[in-house]
Amino acid sequence: MKTFYIETFGCQMNAHDSEKVVGTLLTQGYTQVETPAEAELVLYNTCSIRDKAEQKVFHRLDQFKHEAGKGSNGKRKTYGVLGCVAQQEGEKIFERAPHVSLVAGSASYGRLPELLVQLEKGDRRVTGLSFDRDDAFETEFTRRTNPHRAYVTIIEGCDKSCAYCVVPFTRGPERSRASESVMNELEQLTGAGYTEVQLLGQNVNSYRDPSPAGWDFATMLERAGQVPGMRRVRFTTSHPRDFGKEIINAIDRTETLCNHVHLPVQSGSSDVLRRMDRQYTRDEYMRRIEWMKKARRDIAITTDIIVGFPGETERDFDDTLKLIDGVEYDAMFIFKYSKRPNTAALAYEDHIPEEEKTRRLMELQERQRGIQLRRNAGYVGLTEHVLVEGYNQATGQWIGRTSQHKTLNFIDAALPAPSQERTLVGEYLDVLVTRASPNSLAGERSAHV
Ligand code: SF4
């Protein structure tokens, strides 16, 4: 029996890619195991968006370098690097980690069966790095890990060129998937019992249907929300430049579309945005925020921010602080700028010292904590509809997720804990919110709800 272990780093796109890889390996007669020690084939699906993430992969590979060629079961052990670091570093990985035998980027996963055959034949260096043949959307073998929520890729790659970002190099140019193919997959998913989908793309809202139907992203959203059996549709990640009002109108019209938008701003300073080549100004971004604030539905807004981009002055940073005060985001992911290979910002001057980046990050975090607490406190006393995603043994609470993507931990008087006969996981329930903290809500369901 052939065994494999896979570890995934990075974003939802990578998590979903790993589901495709697992499905493909299972159909090739492999069995998945829980530890690298048990596996003959060890795969790392990697992320290179930040320097730290990339270092982690090489550290992981280093840990096992003495075990290459000998599994604990006496069989040959093979190592593979997939994903963004594979695409970015290519064959250089063989030099840095000579025990690696497979290097393949995300556009080559459709070729995995033939790459595996080469490995099994004993080839020492196998690569899949071209963007010529793109099977990234082929999902017939996908093995999803969550039984209720499914990721569905609708667009791959990126045609923008943000000065700090490696994605255009690691995932290639933008390719949208035909609407019919997406709809077929959505129908199969609801038929199999899935009730929530998350439409994925690096710039998901740049979606343009390549088929004669010619759907734009807002149409795709509405149609996805109308699939029989679909209860929730999410999408990530949106780019502000391509974010039109028709997306808000679609959310307003279609209850199954979740009222949550993740719209990365990156900086509150138009000057920094221009040097980042983000293709929008602060005012243009704020216009999109206004559309959302005026929407019929209470749309939760979340964002990403980079602190310490080269040349970011105190005044630029202050503009970011003012922007977050004005928007009042529901959640925020803050990153310190780190140099990435091939990117335009490498040539920029005025790099910000690490300690200063850390100071800005902490100040922003502190400010955002207060905002989130205020935002969440507004839900206390309201009844929220949640999809139950799990149960926390340690706290004795069920874990629910609201349409706005907030975690709502709750006690259920009728079913305090899952039993052999019954669980609430996968159900949609109304929960009374009783408490709020910056990162989550807490609530209860009385026996009669
Ligand atoms: S839009 Fe910019 S940040 Fe997003 S993937 Fe493309 S280059 Fe990277």
What does the pLDDT read at residue 139?
A: 61
Q: What does the angle CA 117 – CA 72 – CA 33 come to, to the nearest 5 degrees? A: 65
Q: How many CB atoms lie within 10 A of CB 162?
A: 21
pLDDT in tens, 144-187: 888 899 999 999 999 999 999 999 989 889 999 999 999 999 99
pLDDT(448) > 90: no
If one compares 314 and 110, the residue with the highest pLDDT of the two is 314
CATH number at residue 120: 3.40.50.12160
When the pLDDT of each residue in the chain is averaged and rounded to a whole number, the result is 92
CA 155 to each of CA 134, 199, 244, 377: distance values in angstroms, whole numbers, following the listed order: 12, 9, 17, 36
Instruction: Count Cβ atoms within 10 A of the Cβ of residue 270 and give its class: 0-12 exposed, 13-18 middle, 19 or more buried.
Output: middle
Are 180 and 74 members of one domain? no
Residue ending a domain, among 354, 373, 392, is 373
Residue 87 domain-assigned (yes or no): yes
To test the pocket of ligand 1, the residue of 161, 164, 239 to mutate (highest count of ligand atoms within 8 Å of its CB) is 239
DSSP 367-389: HHHHHHHHHHHTTTT-EEEEEEE
Is residue 307 a contact partner of residue 357, using CB atoms and an 8 Å limit?
yes
Indicate the pLDDT class of residue 73, thresholds 50, 70 and 90. low
Name the residue of 13, 48, 156, 158 whose CB sits within 8 Å of the most ligand 1 atoms, as the mutation to test its pocket: 158
Q: Are residues 229 and 369 in the same domain?
A: yes
- Residues 44 and 89 grouped into a single domain: yes
Are residues 153 and 104 part of one domain?
A: no
Asked, for residue 140, whether it belongs to a domain, the answer is: no
Per residue in 374-389, pLDDT (tens digit) is 999 999 999 999 999 9
Give the C-alpha separation, 199 to 339, whole Å.
Answer: 29
Asked whether residue 315 falls in the same domain as residue 246, the answer is yes
The pLDDT value given to residue 67:
61
Instruction: Quote the pTM value.
Output: 0.91
158 lines ligand 1 (CB under 6 A): yes
Q: What is the pLDDT of residues 221-247, one digit of tens each?
A: 999 999 999 999 999 999 999 999 999
Q: What is the domain count for the chain? A: 3
Query: Which domain-ending residue is among 73, 98, 128?
Result: 128
Contact 104, 114 (CB under 8 A): no
Domain of 418?
Answer: 383-445
Segment holding 235, helix H or strand E: strand 232-236
Instruction: Let me know whether 188 and 289 are in one domain.
Output: yes
pLDDT digits (tens, 9 = 90+) for 25-70: 999 999 999 998 899 999 999 998 888 888 888 888 888 776 655 5
What's the rounded Cα separation, in Å, for the pair 204 and 299? Answer: 18
Residues 119 and 18 in one domain: yes
Which of residues 373, 396, 426 is at a domain's end?
373
Q: Do the strands 397-402 and 407-412 form a parallel or antiparallel pair, or are they unpaired?
A: antiparallel
pLDDT tens digit string along 244-260? 999 999 999 999 999 99
